Structures are given as structure tokens and as C-alpha cells.
Structure 1
Amino acid sequence: MTKDIAISVENLSKSYFVGHNSAKSERYTALRDVVARNAINLARKTRDMFRGQAIVQGDEIEEFWALRDISFEIQQGDRVGIIGRNGAGKSTLLKVLSRITEPTKGRIKINGRVASLLEVGTGFHPELSGRENIYLNGAILGMSRTEIHKKFDEIVAFAEVEKFLDTPVKRYSSGMYVRLAFAVAAHLEPEILIVDEVLAVGDMQFQKKCLGKMEEVSHQGRTVLFVSHNMAMISNLCQKGIMLDAGQLEFQGQISEAILHYYQKQNEQSVRYSKLFESENAALVSGELIGLSDTSDISIHDELIIRMRYKIKKSINGKCVPNFHFSASSGTCVFVSNADGVTVKSPGEYIADCKIPSNLLNEGAYFVGLALTTYLDSGSFEVEFFDRNALTFNVIDPMDERSNRYGYAGIVPGVVRPKLIWNIHQDIK
């Protein structure tokens, strides 16, 4: 492995054995069956104990693969977001990389010292004070007492736990636990910092503080792996992304593309337009993007039509107004568009089309929320349904003469990128 590669994973797999009790589904069980089953279970548990394997409860044992044949490389200094649905294998991957659990198959090469923050309280001894746990964690990371002492004041100031420094951490709140644990992991100079969803325990101000610290760490040439379901946090921090699905590597690449792939996969796997997007008055039937390529891409120079089919179920004393909500991959709302000229509609099925003009949105991933709002004659309103991330698309820049780049190849800042009318003339005095 070359020096510029921080982590190399080859054909990594991890399996667990899960036990099921078949007896629960049986209404009547003879005594001899119970005795025979218990004898078999005892023999199996004894065998597993002598082999050093985990003892699994249950009559029937099933092998479950949390990770299967995963391969990737992470460069030094990369900020990598690991995303996927619950149960995709994200936490298992981090545990294997942190050497908390062993892989079943495959090989991992790590270049540098690893600090992990996976669960509240990981690496802390509950009976020891905050001060003692700082030194304990530093020792686990292989640092000398002198090295830890140099960083001690920075850690305490970042964690904001000065008043409770000599209190056993078992009396800490979950937020205090996370603040101190992150401060220790980030300040004791690991080459690789691994952080799981645990940051969600902290308040918003501390989360921003942590994101800033992780970005600072990566600028120092150290590597950050970050797992979160908060796509705004992932997008703001990370440059690259890894998406897992059902224990397999589904996508690896730029973070905007990984997030777009994640939402597209979510759309494929979820059952859309069920009772969740229906009210007594109206229901969402379908959503569609017209003008995309097969890869869900559209050029900044092309128009895009957002189409929503919806049903009005009964007569309403008000106007049912379709409205579309556009968000960037960071979670930032770009704009909301309401249909105009809406009149009172009789019951039936309708189609609402909204045209997005060319040269409006900058390159990147976008998500469209589909909604219907009823504005009543009384002056109040009711939201009939709102599917926040119903549709996804990706805007690309073909880098041609129409892009007005003049040779510039970097990312143009901003969410929107309208082609405005300019007039340049010489000022003759």
C-alpha cells in the first residue's frame, strides 16, 4: 500500500449468526421434544464456547451477512461520508475498521493511528473521572503522558466540561459524554478519525463545532470517515461518499453523486404514494421528471418539467394549489414554486406541470418535494400531502461554449446560476 493511501479494503465480508426460537410458533410441545431440543442447544453452545465462538440463543441458527465482498481505497486527507439505509452495514464497517470486531473474510490495510467515536461512552471507563479518561484514551492511542498533557487544556476547552472534570463520567449526560469523547478523539492527533451517528446526541451549536474541527483535521492531512443520516451535514463536511446497501458497496465517488444515488435508491425501494401522502380531500398519485437522460442527469442548458398527478376526492370550499419544493443536496431550500391561476376544482384526477427553465440551477444534485395545499374561503389553509424527497435529478455542466466559463474549470459557486442579461459599453466622456 502506497503512503498516500490511508485505508485499503479488499473483499471484506462480515457475518453473524442469528438465533430463532421455533418453539414459539408451536401451540403444543411434547415433553420429550423440549428435552431433546434443550440437549441439542446445550451441546451446540458447549461446542461454540470451546471454539471461542459467540454463543447464540435459539433453536434455529441463521447466518446473516452484514457486509459482503466490499473493496475500496481512501486517500490520506480525504473526508469520506458513509451513507445508506438502516441495516445497510455502515456501523459494522466502522467497527471492523476500528478493530472492534474481526472480519469474516477479506483484508484491511490501515496506514496510521485510528481514533473512533462510534457509540456514547465508547472507550470510557464509567467509574473514572473525565480527567482520568482523557489520559486513559490517550494511552490507548499510544500517546505518552507528556503528549497528552500538552493537549489537555485544548480538549477540556473544546468539550466545555471544566466544572465536571473530576466527576465520574457515569454521572455525565449523554451530551457531555459525546462532547468529551469527540474532543479526546479529535485532539489526540490520530491519522484517521472515524465518527458514527453519535454526534446527533449533541446540540446544534456543538455539531457545527465538531464539523469545523473535522474539516480542520482533514486540512492537516488526516483522514475523516463520517456516518450520518443527515445529508446536510454529510454534504457540508465530506468531499467523497461511499453508499452501502444490504451489506454491499452500491456506489463510491463524489459526495453529491453518492447522495443523489442514495435518494434514487430510496425511491426505488420505498412504496410511494400510499396512505402517507393522502388526506380526506386529496391524494398524491404519482410524480415524474420529464427531460432527463437515463442517468437522471440534465444539462444546465436544458429545460426540465416536473409533473405531479393528484386526485381531488370531494368538493372543497377553497382552492387546491399544487406546490413544488426544490432543495440542494446540502438540505438547503433553493426555492418553492406555487401554481398560479388556480380555481376551485371539482372532484377528479389532475396533472400539474411546472417547467424549470434552462440556465437557472447550478450543477449538482437536487430534490423535489411534491405538495398540495388547500386555501379555504375562511382565509386558513391545510396541507393535504407533502412528499419531501419525491423526485431527484442531477444538473451537469457540459463545459461547452455556452457555459460562459472562459477556460475556468473549477466549481462555480452558488445554488442557482442564471444566465442574466448584460450590457457592456465604453464610457465616453
Structure 2
Amino acid sequence: MALALKAENISKQYRLGQVGTGSLSHDLNRFWHQIRGKEDPYLKIGESNDRTQKGESDYVWSLRDINFEITQGDAVGIIGRNGAGKSTLLKLLSKVTKPTTGKISTKGRIASLLEVGTGFHPEMTGRENVFLNGAILGMTRKEITRKFDEIVDFSGVERYIDTPVKRYSSGMYVRLAFAVAANLESEILIVDEVLAVGDAEFQKKCLGKMGDVSKGEGRTVLFVSHNMTAVKELCSKGILLNQGLLDYQGGILETIMEYQKSSQKQSSYLHTGPLETALGNEYIRILEFSVKSQTNSFLDIDSGAKVKLRFYNDSENINLDATFELRTYEESVVFHTGALITTNKDSKKGEYTVEFDMPANLLNAGNYYFRLIFGQDQRKALYICDDIVGFEVENVKLGTNIAQMPGIIRPKFEYKIDSSI
């Protein structure tokens, strides 16, 4: 089979706090080295993109020395923890940005869906944006017209097709954007995590369409998702990224297994640097999160676990809540439970600690991770953190994992909530 994509030693460097990778003095320094026939001096510095550690350098490598080949008709899942470099890689492959070093070779037109609203002009209608996207892909107006009804029918937004897209909800945006990317005649389809915005029915419809694109039409699909079930269903090959490095590539099942192994090492998160560099945003900063056995140095089905969350809240006079959602690495939801931090619109800026116990014999043997959702009034999400810690529950008696999960359960937890304010 002919090659569709080839990446040769591609790397991407960013300078923290800057647009681009430097300042005027740095650009002059680069130019001076270039005219003397010497290497860019800033390629010799920089650290890996580990967001959990305090760094010493202003330069970070979002990707470093990535090499792979993808043949025509392959469906490839790109997986890894948050900050691994997945979205950066897709931006390079889509030619949204250039690699700092290395070369990318592609054969055929590329249609990409990277973020909500990518490629759409907010002041133009849905109809106008369909034709705009087709023109960007190099299609003639006649070709786009031939596909137009199919695109609108798939998106389900026919009633609003002549409305400016700035008035669309995020779900409508994604529906139309995916319909355009998947139905216009491109040889390579690149899709990031944005499908998570759509409802379950539309996600299933999108996965079916991507399967048809790959298996039925022989087009190449690159798919980034944290949903291992969807990746396993759609893709035959996988690429695993970790802190900007290519950790593994091969069959999709083997790639997912390697991902699960690496995630088991992250059973606790402790931030020791400045508050501004902790995981979070302008509302919430996570300082510590851990899942530890109450009786052993490891977790097994016969021992309970203590869950501890410590975070900094920067919002005053709101009702603050935290939701803990436990998932398997096959993306089955085991349980979700919420703690009301403040209830009388009396939140203050400062540190809060939430602790609860998971009883013994609650979980089967297997691999799990927590998803955290911080909210206001149990309605508005202030910050969502996926896959912050992963852990393994062992079955000591049987010495083997149990594949059958119990399904969604609704245990009741008693919360201990402290504030240092």
C-alpha cells in the first residue's frame, strides 16, 4: 500500500508565555547562527512537556523526534494522557502550524476537525461555511454542490443552515463541522477529541461514518480520543505519546495495553511548584490528588481505598461543588459522586480538602482512573480534569484480573471537607 503520511524526526518547541518561540534578541541570535552555517542554538535547550513538575527552562518540547509512517486506508488511534502532545501532532499533520524540526510528507487532501469552530467564519451562515471549507480543500463549487444535501442531512441542522454559525450551540457547530470534514472528498481525515461535545447518538453516528470512510472508501483516518472503546472499535493501529515522545506504535490493542500500563504509575498527583503552574484554570488549581490503600502498599479488591483531593479555589460567594467520576480504561463509568463544598454562596479564596473512603469489595480487579469536575451551583462547570490519576486494583486471591465490570453503581460516600481559609 502507498504511504498517506510520513513523519521524519518532527519536533515542536514552544516558549512559555510567548507567542511563537522567541523574542527579537532570540530571532537575531538565530539569524546570526544561520548566516554562519551553525545550528539554531535554542534547539539545544528546553525540557519535556511535563505539566506536573516545575521546570527550569522557558522552553518546552511539546513533541520531540517523532517518526512514523501511515499507509492509505489505515485507521490510526493516537492516544496518551493530557499534555502528551496529541493535539500538537494533529496540528502539525494538518499544517495548522509548522514543526520546529523535521519533515512531514502527505499524499492527498487533508480534512481536519481539531477544535470546535475550526475553519468556520462566525459571521457566515452554515451554508456559506460549507462552501468555504470545500474551497479551502481545493474542491470546485460544482463538487461541493453535489455533496451539499448529504452534508446537511448528516449534520441534522437543516433548519439553521442559513443562520450565522456564531449563533450555533457547540453541539450544532461540531455536527456541521464533522459532516463537512467527513463528506467532502479528502484523502485523509483527522479528528481530535471534539466529538465529545456531541450527544451519544451523534457520537455513534460519527464513529460509523469514520468506519465507512476508512474501510469502505479506503481513506486514511487519524483519531484522537480518551474513549478507549471508541478507539478500539474504529482503529486497527495505534500511536502512544507520552510527554511529547513516541512511546509505542503498533496494533491498537497492544497500544491500549501499553497506555494502561503507563497510567498505573500515576496513582497520586502532588504539585510542589508555584500555584500558577498547578493543573487547573482561573477558577480552580489542583494541588494534590491521591488514591491509596487503607491497609496495604497496593490496592486489591479486599482492601478499601482513601481518596484525597486538595485544591485552591479562586471564586468567591458561589456554591462550589466537586464531582468524582471513576472510569475503567475501556471508558465504562463505574460510579460518579459529588461533594457540596459550600452551600450558602459563601465560598472564599483559598485551599480546600475533600476526603472520602471507598469500601473494600467495591471494585473488581482492573485498571481505573478518576475524572474530576468542579462546578458552580451543580450546573456550570468551572474546570474538568480528565485522567488525573490512574490505578490498578489487584485480585490477590485469584492472581488474575476479572474482565467483567459491575456496571454503573451508586455507592454512598461520607465526605470530610476542610478549609485552610
- Name the TM-score, length of structure 1 as normaliser: 0.60
Check conservation: 1:285, 1:311, Cα contact below 8 A: no
Q: Secondary structure at the match of 2:239?
A: strand
Check conservation: 1:287, 1:309, Cα contact below 8 A: no
- CA deviations on 1:197-246 (whole Å, 9 max, x unpaired) are 01000000000000000000001110110001111111111111100001
Q: Secondary structure at the match of 1:155?
A: helix
1:208 — aligned with what? Answer: 204
1:283 aligns with 2:285: no
Check conservation: 1:277, 1:284, Cα contact below 8 A: no
Give how far 1:160 is off: 0.6
Residue type at the aligned position of 2:173: Y
Counterpart of 2:79 (choices 68, 79, 83) is: 83
Check conservation: 2:301, 2:360, Cα contact below 8 A: no
1:322 — aligned with what? Answer: 361
- Structure 1 residues 110 and 104 mapped into 2: Cα distance closer, same or farther (>3 Å)? same
Give how far 1:269 is off: 3.5
1:405 — aligned with what? Answer: none
Counterpart of 1:122 (choices 115, 118, 123) is: 118
Counterpart of 1:353 (choices 379, 396, 400) is: 396
- CA deviations on 1:293-336 (whole Å, 9 max, x unpaired) are xxxxxxxxxxxxx7755589xxxxxxx7524426799xxxxxxx
Give how far 1:18 is off: 1.4
Check conservation: 1:113, 1:190, Cα contact below 8 A: yes
1:188 — aligned with what? Answer: 184
Check conservation: 1:175, 1:201, Cα contact below 8 A: yes
Check conservation: 1:228, 1:234, Cα contact below 8 A: yes
1:134 aligns with 2:130: yes
Residue type at the aligned position of 2:242: D
Counterpart of 1:224 (choices 211, 221, 226) is: 221
Q: Distance in 2 between matches of 1:140 and 1:123?
A: 9
1:270 — aligned with what? Answer: 267
1:14 — aligned with what? Answer: 12
Q: Distance in 1 between matches of 2:89 and 2:82?
A: 13
2:316 — aligned with what? Answer: none
Identity %: 54
Q: Distance in 2 between matches of 1:230 and 1:308?
A: 28
- CA deviations on 1:256-306 (whole Å, 9 max, x unpaired) are 11111111111124339x97446xxx8263447xxxxxxxxxxxxxxxxx7
- CA deviations on 1:370-400 (whole Å, 9 max, x unpaired) are xxx9xxxxxx975699xxxxxxxxxxxxxxx
1:4 aligns with 2:2: yes
Check conservation: 1:287, 1:307, Cα contact below 8 A: no
1:56 — aligned with what? Answer: none
Check conservation: 1:241, 1:254, Cα contact below 8 A: yes
Check conservation: 1:84, 1:244, Cα contact below 8 A: yes
1:288-327 to 2 correspondence within 5 Å? 309=303, 322-325=361-364
1:21-420 to 2 correspondence within 5 Å? 44=25, 62-219=58-215, 220-271=217-268, 276-277=290-291, 283=294, 285-287=296-298, 309=303, 322-325=361-364, 353-355=396-398, 382=412
Check conservation: 1:287, 1:308, Cα contact below 8 A: no
- CA deviations on 1:39-63 (whole Å, 9 max, x unpaired) are xx99649969x99xxxxxxxx9722
- Structure 1 residues 177 and 310 mapped into 2: Cα distance closer, same or farther (>3 Å)? closer
Q: Distance in 2 between matches of 1:167 and 1:218?
A: 32
- CA deviations on 1:149-189 (whole Å, 9 max, x unpaired) are 11100000000111101100011010000000000000002
Residue type at the aligned position of 1:285: N
Give how far 1:104 is off: 0.7
Structure 1: gaps of 5 or more residues: 21-40, 52-59, 289-305, 313-319, 330-350, 374-379, 386-429
Residue type at the aligned position of 1:322: N
- Give the number of equivalent residue pairs: 292
Q: What's the RMSD between the two structures over aligned residues? A: 3.7
Give how far 1:367 is off: 9.3
